[in-house]
Amino acid sequence: MTAPALEVTDLHTGYGDLKVVYGLSFAVEPGKVIAILGRNGAGKTTALRAISGLNPANTGKILLDGEDITSIPAHKRVSKGIAYVQEGKRVFRQRTVEDNLVIGALSVKISRAELTARIEEAYNRFPILREKRRDAASGLSGGQQQMLAIAQALMSRPKVLLLDEPSGGLAPTIVGDVLNTVKSLVADGLTVVLVEQAMGFALALADDVIVMDLGRSVLSGKTTDEGIGEAIEQAYFNRVEA
């Protein structure tokens, strides 16, 4: 068995005094996709924030390719090979598309030539961005912004990509495009941690799945497991009513 690309052990995190995530643990092998499902407020985004370094981990360990990155600040984790695409198609709207790509490479020391090469690659993968390279990112449609956000994150050639609700607020056909893009990235060897509320999207992509509720992992398994669909639904929707 290969060493996990990302291993999270007993993660406790939150916002200052407000505790949100309690004892989350999971591991994902290189080139695989793990989906984290759960209701709003379950702590999925908070977990990603801790893995990316935006929120401190109160306790627990985060290992990237075997290296302990738990105490490394967010901006340094990027150069270690982990990139976080936040929810909400978050790009730098006042900057041009090309500037956004340049920003994506700020964490790595590469030559001018290498930077240009990577930008070309991004345009090859997302042709619409080439068309709009000099436009401000605010002029792009929602789907295009999502593509730009992903392209930007890829500029640092991460080993692990944290994707937070990439389908959010997008029309179904565009969601399909995003899905295919991520599929091809995974085929090229990228490891993905995917947070989603749209279960179908997540399950179409993922090898492993976790359901979070109230900050804890209440279910984990493989998407190929027998009866996983019903089990997820139970964990996902099951609440005690008055």
Footprint of another protein on 62-91 (CB under 8 A):
73-76, 78-79, 83-84, 86-87, 90-91
Which lies closer to another protein via its Cβ, residue 187 or residue 237?
237
Interface pattern 156-195 for another protein (x via CB under 8 A): x--------x-xxxxxx--xx--x----------------
Q: Taking a C-beta distance cutoff of 8 angstroms, is the pair 92, 103 a contact?
A: yes
CB atoms under 10 Å from CB of 241, counted, come to 3
Q: Measured between alpha carbons, how far is 1 from 187 in angstroms, rounded to an integer?
A: 19
In angstroms, what is the minimal distance from the CB of 3 to another protein?
25
Torsion region of 23: left, alpha or beta (phi above 0 gives left; psi -120 to 50 gives alpha): left
Structure-block tokens of residue 28: 């994902």
Site for another protein in 206-235 (CB under 8 A): 214, 223, 228-230, 232-234
Under rule CB under 8 A, which residues in 115-134 are in contact with another protein? none
**If you search the block for the tokens 């999207």, which residue do you land on?**
201
Show Cβ contacts of residue 116 under 8 Å, excluding neighbours closer than 6 positions. none
Strands 216-222 and 57-64: unpaired
Residues 9-28 binding another protein (CB under 8 A) are 17-20
User: How many residues sit in the footprint of another protein (CB under 8 A)?
Assistant: 71
| CB of 1 or CB of 65, closer to another protein | 65
Residue 61 or 90 having the CB closest to another protein: 90
